[in-house]
Chains A and B, each alone.
Chain A
Amino acid sequence: MSTAIDLRGVRFTYRGAARPALDGVDLTVAPGEFVVLVGPSGAGKSTLCYILNGLVPQFLRGRLEGSVTILGEPAAGRKVSALAEKVGLVFQDFESQLFSTNVELEVAFAPENFGVDPAEIRRRVRECLATVGLTGLEHREPATLSGGQKQRLAIASVLSMEPRILVMDEPTTDLDPLGKEAVFAVARRLRERGLTLVIAEHETEEAAAADRVVVLHEGRVVAQGTPREVLTRADWLEELGVQPLGAAQITARLGLPPALTVEEAVEVLREAGYRVDPAALVELRERDRRRAAALGEPVIEVRDLEHRYPNGVAALQGVNLTIRRGEFVALVGQNGSGKTTLVKHLNGLLQPTGGEVRVAGVPTAGQSVLQLGRRVGYVFQNPDHQIFAETVYDEVAFGPRNHGLPEPEVQARVEEALAAVGLTGREEEDPFAMTRGERQRVAVASVLATRPEVIILDEPTTGLDYREQRQMMELVRRLNEQGHTILCVTHTMWVVAEYAHRTVVMRDGRIWMDGPTREVLAREEELTAASLKPPQLVRITGRLGGTLLSLEECLHALRKG
């Protein structure tokens, strides 16, 4: 057999959908090949993944045309269970693909279903857990694992069927940087063993390691080739809604030979004689300083904050932080570093077990969340954890109504908030029927409607594609420019670089770094110690004489000579 996967003229329309999700896809994957699928939300990445193990059209019904051949056999009419043994599928949401009460049983679950002999299952459990690096955790409850560990467990639980092809649908979207890296490390290991790998991703930096990158857009393959052939078309990718690589972007804009990695770009730029112009850098730093000097009085003051959970574990220790009115602060750090615990003190969801938190000069101790909510708004990570109302209007009106405002005032607030997030005119729509990006904006509007001075956003870009992430952050920037103080908890380093004026890094319940974003991101080694990696452009320019934070800054400050 010469091909692992062979799709010819595949077109699929979900039942009841007006447009096909896949529209004439031809794709051939050789055994042992590592293919990465990229494309914006709605491009058809997931549908393509589901076709490979028969979930489309056996489970998700609709009209499938064209031919699908898996390992030399036509897939048409074959059950998911018949294909699943050959094509393992890992999903984005790790919570809904784990079924067992401990780790080893999770790995054993699929082979049990296929009637594999228990002795053989034991061998596979050992081997698969070793492959994903979870040896020693056999008896743990899945619920007690970190996100990255859960996703690796999900991979092991599929590998135990010993599939020939492994398909992963955005496996790292919900993970922090450490978790992402661990999942990619597993992928690299599997590739070395000759497993055929198909991974849908929207983080292009990791796609650079693939044999082939396939770009999907509106259900079609619009480009495919080696990472070098595809990912160097940075502006074109950005236009499609795929995050471009900084190295490719800057080299393309300057008309230089294309680069994919930081090292390549540095070399190309150096050879062409580019460096960061000291005068331009001084100018940028001066601008940073002027902005900092124009900030208002402190609105949040955290003094020697300590938080111990009832079981005695200290989540925060000796935290000191002052945030001024009008500031735009990014709070970064690994999961478990204490970021979320810290921000929950700012609106009273948590009370200090030591030290003090003041909001607008008043200690939070003794104030309720309701009282603090007038000054501090908190947008939770997942909009689905709060959306409940029948209409967008009612959802956004929830906050102001809770604060006891009269109905005409509520209406004014809702209109204002919806205008701010660009959802004017959609008051009567059902928020449940909106896209994730739109739901996220409804959640922001529902917090804006109470007109808080300070807005905390917890991972506002998670689960969004590149275009939606940009829209969300542009919205946040506008809010900041209108005078809101912004505190943004995030893992997404390019968001930090391009939007935050100041960056606070947390590690093990303490503040590890704190300063202007330009200075913090320049300290690569310390960031590495906190398991963080600045975006490509920052790293490239750091090696060329000064830290630049965005493409615009690069084009302005990178000069020949």
Chain B
Amino acid sequence: MDVYLYVEGNSPLHRLDPRPKMLLVVGLIFLAVAAEHPLVPGALLGLVLAAAQVAGAWPALRRVRTILLTIGGFSTVAWALLARGTTPLLGPVTVESLLYGLGTGLKLVATIAGSVVFLATTKNEELAAGLIRLGLPYPVAFAFSTALRLVPTFVGTGATIIQAQKSRGLDVESGHLLERMRKHIPLVVPIFAGAIRSANRLAMALESKGFGARPRRTYYLELRMGPGDWAAVAVAALMFLGFLLIRLTGWGEIPGLHR
């Protein structure tokens, strides 16, 4: 079952060490939310889309486009209606509120698309290895990556359960609200009970593979920073500097906006 966003490839972004890549995502997020004006996130979205082109990450972006546009659109509309400005445009919408709404929408789209490009070019194990090397305690990283490994298994189990209960006449579409809610019980209980049942089996297998056997464990995946990786760190640092600069100078504020 193919549930992950990773897209096979060998682009420069695929080859980048996961640590600087994570820093780039963090830098992107900071820089994107720094200013009110849509200019900065707009430019960043352009960069992200260029990166997607380089990395061949379009399949991943295509998969999330609905949700991406909904989030961006929702934020834009919400602020356009709820924020206040000085130049009326249409009803409660003002030039300033619309501009601000566009800004927030672009911020969300740029950052989420950025993280999707990151996930499209970073394997799960690289992500976990990167987090460990950045100081995440191993048990947390283990919980994270093993859960990630089990997600497709449970998605598959969930799909089977839905089919099994439908075959017994369950119809979640009909009935009033409370009835429909209650109809989810036959779906939730088996998936949860099945997972709980497997807890002892997982724990026994873990024990049998020496989990926690030694105070120090070694790591098979080795990460090495090359010149390109350091360059990426520098770019991330610049993004963070940009964030500070924008915040300190108050650049990019929308005059007359009031939210």
B149 contacts A100, C-beta separation under 8 Å: yes
Across the interface, which residues of A come within 8 angstroms of B206, CB to CB? 99
Across the interface, which residues of A come within 8 angstroms of B153, CB to CB? 95, 143
With A101-B125, A398-B186, A446-B168 as contacts: A55 and B207 at CB distance below 8 Å: yes
Stretch at the interface among A318-326, A383-391, A487-495: A383-391
A97 contacts B201, C-beta separation under 8 Å: yes
B169 contacts A450, C-beta separation under 8 Å: yes
Across the interface, which residues of A come within 8 angstroms of B211, CB to CB? 81, 113
With A113-B214, A403-B169 as contacts: A59 and B204 at CB distance below 8 Å: yes
Docked CA distance A446–B186 (Å): 13
Across the interface, which residues of A come within 8 angstroms of B177, CB to CB? none
Across the interface, which residues of A come within 8 angstroms of B163, CB to CB? 344, 349, 380
Stretch at the interface among B86-94, B216-224, B229-237: B216-224
Within A179-220, the residues touching B (CB, 8 Å) are none
Stretch at the interface among B45-53, B68-76, B95-103, B187-195: B187-195
Is A84 an interface position by the 8 A CB rule? Answer: yes
With A384-B197, A388-B185, A402-B168 as contacts: A55 and B152 at CB distance below 8 Å: no
What 1/0 flags go to B157-172 for Cβ under 8 Å of A?
A: 1001101111111110
A385 contacts B190, C-beta separation under 8 Å: yes
Total residue contacts A-B, CB cutoff 8 A: 186
B201 contacts A113, C-beta separation under 8 Å: no
Within B1-17, the residues touching A (CB, 8 Å) are 1-2, 4
Within 8 Å by CB of B220, from A118, A377, A389, lies: A118
Is B148 an interface position by the 8 A CB rule? Answer: yes
Within 8 Å by CB of B168, from A102, A112, A399, lies: A399
Is B249 an interface position by the 8 A CB rule? Answer: no
Across the interface, which residues of A come within 8 angstroms of B219, CB to CB? 112, 118
Across the interface, which residues of B come within 8 angstroms of A398, CB to CB? 168-170, 186
What 1/0 flags go to A225-238 for Cβ under 8 Å of B?
A: 00000000000000
Across the interface, which residues of A come within 8 angstroms of B157, CB to CB? 385
A84 contacts B218, C-beta separation under 8 Å: no
Docked CA distance A104–B163 (Å): 34
For the complex formed, measure the closest distance between the CB of B163 and the CB atoms of chain A, giving whole angstroms. Answer: 5
What secondary structure prevails in chain B residues at the interface with A? Answer: helix
Within 8 Å by CB of B207, from A59, A102, A384, lies: A59
Docked CA distance A447–B167 (Å): 9
Docked CA distance A380–B220 (Å): 40
Which of B2, B146, B206 has the largest count of A CB atoms less than 10 A from its CB? Answer: B206
Across the interface, which residues of A come within 8 angstroms of B203, CB to CB? 59
Docked CA distance A116–B218 (Å): 6
Is A53 an interface position by the 8 A CB rule? Answer: yes
B164 contacts A144, C-beta separation under 8 Å: no
Is B135 an interface position by the 8 A CB rule? Answer: no
Stretch at the interface among A3-11, A66-74, A85-93, A288-296: A85-93
For the complex formed, measure the closest distance between the CB of B171 and the CB atoms of chain A, giving whole angstroms. Answer: 5
B217 contacts A388, C-beta separation under 8 Å: no
Is A158 an interface position by the 8 A CB rule? Answer: yes
Across the interface, which residues of A come within 8 angstroms of B145, CB to CB? 99-101
Is A141 an interface position by the 8 A CB rule? Answer: yes
Which of B153, B207, B212 has the largest count of A CB atoms less than 10 A from its CB? Answer: B207
Docked CA distance A102–B217 (Å): 19
B193 contacts A402, C-beta separation under 8 Å: no
Is B210 an interface position by the 8 A CB rule? Answer: yes
Docked CA distance A349–B164 (Å): 9
Q: Contact size class for B?
A: 35 or more
Is A96 an interface position by the 8 A CB rule? Answer: yes
Residue of A nearest to B127 (CB): A101
For the complex formed, measure the closest distance between the CB of A294 and the CB atoms of chain B, giving whole angstroms. Answer: 29
B167 contacts A114, C-beta separation under 8 Å: no
B221 contacts A388, C-beta separation under 8 Å: no
For the complex formed, measure the closest distance between the CB of B36 and the CB atoms of chain A, giving whole angstroms. Answer: 40
Docked CA distance A111–B221 (Å): 13
B214 contacts A370, C-beta separation under 8 Å: no
Docked CA distance A538–B164 (Å): 35
Q: Contact size class for A?
A: 35 or more
Residue of A nearest to B146 (CB): A99
A114 contacts B210, C-beta separation under 8 Å: yes
A55 contacts B168, C-beta separation under 8 Å: no
A110 contacts B201, C-beta separation under 8 Å: no
Residue of A nearest to B213 (CB): A81
What 1/0 flags go to B13-40 for Cβ under 8 Å of A?
A: 0000000000000000000000000000
With A80-B207, A385-B160 as contacts: A121 and B146 at CB distance below 8 Å: no
B213 contacts A114, C-beta separation under 8 Å: yes
With A81-B213, A99-B149, A100-B149 as contacts: A380 and B160 at CB distance below 8 Å: yes
Is A506 an interface position by the 8 A CB rule? Answer: no
Across the interface, which residues of A come within 8 angstroms of B4, CB to CB? 141
Residue of B nearest to A349 (CB): B163
Within A341-394, the residues touching B (CB, 8 Å) are 344, 347, 349, 368-370, 373, 377-378, 380, 382, 384-389
For the complex formed, measure the closest distance between the CB of B99 and the CB atoms of chain A, giving whole angstroms. Answer: 40
Within A125-146, the residues touching B (CB, 8 Å) are 125, 139, 141-144
Across the interface, which residues of A come within 8 angstroms of B210, CB to CB? 81, 84-85, 110, 113-114, 161
With A108-B220, A122-B220 as contacts: A91 and B201 at CB distance below 8 Å: yes
Docked CA distance A554–B198 (Å): 43
Docked CA distance A108–B220 (Å): 6
Is A105 an interface position by the 8 A CB rule? Answer: yes
A384 contacts B194, C-beta separation under 8 Å: yes
A386 contacts B213, C-beta separation under 8 Å: no
Across the interface, which residues of A come within 8 angstroms of B116, CB to CB? none
Docked CA distance A97–B171 (Å): 35
For the complex formed, measure the closest distance between the CB of B133 and the CB atoms of chain A, giving whole angstroms. Answer: 14
For the complex formed, measure the closest distance between the CB of B161 and the CB atoms of chain A, giving whole angstroms. Answer: 5
Across the interface, which residues of B come within 8 angstroms of A109, CB to CB? 209
Residue of B nearest to A374 (CB): B169
Across the interface, which residues of B come within 8 angstroms of A84, CB to CB? 207-210, 213
Docked CA distance A194–B230 (Å): 50
Is B128 an interface position by the 8 A CB rule? Answer: yes
A144 contacts B124, C-beta separation under 8 Å: no
Docked CA distance A117–B170 (Å): 54
What 1/0 flags go to B140-160 for Cβ under 8 Å of A?
A: 001001101100110011001
Across the interface, which residues of A come within 8 angstroms of B161, CB to CB? 385-386
Docked CA distance A559–B222 (Å): 70
Across the interface, which residues of B come within 8 angstroms of A105, CB to CB? 125, 220-221
A91 contacts B204, C-beta separation under 8 Å: yes
B168 contacts A386, C-beta separation under 8 Å: yes
A101 contacts B214, C-beta separation under 8 Å: no
Residue of A nearest to B124 (CB): A101
Docked CA distance A95–B125 (Å): 18
Q: A113-B212, A113-B214, A125-B220 are in contact. List 7 more A-B contacts (CB 8 A).
A: A81-B211, A96-B201, A99-B146, A99-B149, A114-B214, A380-B160, A399-B169
Query: Top 8 closest A-B pairs, CB basis?
Result: A402-B169, A81-B213, A97-B205, A108-B220, A388-B189, A101-B124, A143-B152, A110-B209
Sampled A-B contacts (15; CB under 8 Å): A59-B207, A79-B213, A81-B210, A81-B213, A96-B201, A143-B153, A349-B166, A368-B171, A377-B167, A380-B163, A387-B190, A388-B185, A388-B189, A398-B168, A402-B168
